[in-house]
Every structure is written in structure tokens, then in C-alpha cells.
Amino acid sequence: MRLLPAAVVLSLLLSACERAPAPPAGAAPLSAPTQVPPAADPVQAVLAASQRFGELRSFHATLQMQGPRTLKVAMDFVAPDRYRLETDEGVQTIIGGTFFLQRAGEVRQVPVPPGLLAQWRSPLPADAAPADLQVEDLGSERLAGQQARKYRVRHATAAPDGLLYWINGAGLPVRIERQGQTNGQAFQATVDYSRFNDPGLRIDVP
């Protein structure tokens, strides 16, 4: 994993954005109960959370990365294909297959290569089967003012060292934490998700 800003931001912040048919317009924002009981099948709980996430019309995410360099970035998503990244270098927008690169007061349109975002739409392969996953239930934990269920998720090729995956009472991932190495140096990346199906989120063409 290279520490170029675009690669880091996209690979981690877009990691859980599996696309699926959007819910009907006007659906109420999802809310979570105060208690999150253990799932009968932790593997199915994680797979179902990923599927529900893919059905969201909008969400907000923040990335904090610690390691060879410290990075904090925010991202908004609005279905079907609009992303806004807020970095130290300014605001960047992706709409469909176009990256609107904003720099020095100018906006330049850069094509997004086909399939570039698809490879980052899930921390696990989109076709991951239950038999491919090892999921350990680590219990209930209060996170950002709400109860969530914490899981350790392993996949032989995509996450051999494991991801930490927090799922709220509405069955949606609210945090994903990953550790790894880049250029031989250790890093830890934490992505927090919020504002699910918030109608106030808008992303306009720059």
C-alpha cells in the first residue's frame, strides 16, 4: 500500500462502499436501538452489514491513519456515484467516471479508470462466501454514543491479519479498523461511518 494521498484516501474510505439497488426515495434515516444482542451467526451478521451498507443512499465517513505519516480525511457519499473528499490539500469531488481535481483555484477533470473504485468498495471481496470468512464476536461496546457489536474478521487473502468491525443495532458498520504495513512500516487506519441516509448530504459539480 503506497502512501500517496489519493490511494490512501480512496482505498480506505471507499473500502465499504459496495453498490446495490438504492432504497425507495423518502425512506427514513436508519436508527439503532440502545442494545445490540449477539448474533446467532457472526459470519452472516458481518456479510449482512456489508450488504445493508451497499443499499445506503448517503453516508459520511472519516479516516484517521497513524503510522509513517498521520492522516485525517473526511468523505461524503451520495448515491449513485458521488463522492466528496476533504483533505489537507482541499476538497476533491468524484462524480461518475470523473475526478474533479481542484488545485490553486482551478478545477481539472481527470478520468477515473474503469474498475478503479470497484476494487475498494469492500474491505473483503464482493463475492466472499461464508466459508471464506472467520469471524470472532468480541462483545458489545459503546462507540460514539451508541452500542455496537465488535467483531474480528479474517479472510485468507483480503484480510489475513484481521479487521476489527463494529456493527450497530441497525445492522450497519459504524467503524472498521485495520492494521498492516506499507513499505515495511506499520500503520493503523480507522474509518468511522455516520449520517446514514441523511437527506441533507449533497454533492454538487464543482
Q: Rounded to whole angstroms, how far apart are CA atoms 46 and 51?
A: 9
Q: What is the pLDDT of residue 204?
A: 94
* DSSP tag of 47: H
Q: Which helix (H) or strand (E) holds 50?
A: helix 42-54
Q: What is the pLDDT of residue 186?
A: 86
Query: Cβ distance 131 to 39 under 8 Å?
Result: no
pTM for this entry = 0.80
| Residue 18 DSSP SS3 | coil
Alpha-carbon 123 to chain mean position? 8
Query: Cβ distance 94 to 83 under 8 Å?
Result: yes
| Residue 114 DSSP SS3 | coil
Q: What is the pLDDT of residue 50?
A: 87
Query: Cβ distance 205 to 93 under 8 Å?
Result: yes
Q: What are phi and psi of 135, to 5 degrees?
A: -125, 125
For the chain, 206 residues long, give each residue's pLDDT as a single digit of tens.
333 344 455 555 555 444 433 444 444 445 444 568 888 999 999 999 988 888 889 999 998 988 887 888 899 999 888 989 898 878 889 998 898 988 888 889 999 877 666 555 556 666 788 998 999 999 999 998 899 999 999 987 767 778 899 999 999 999 999 887 777 888 888 999 999 999 999 999 98
Instruction: State the first-to-last Cα distance of the chain, in angstroms, to the nearest integer.
Output: 29
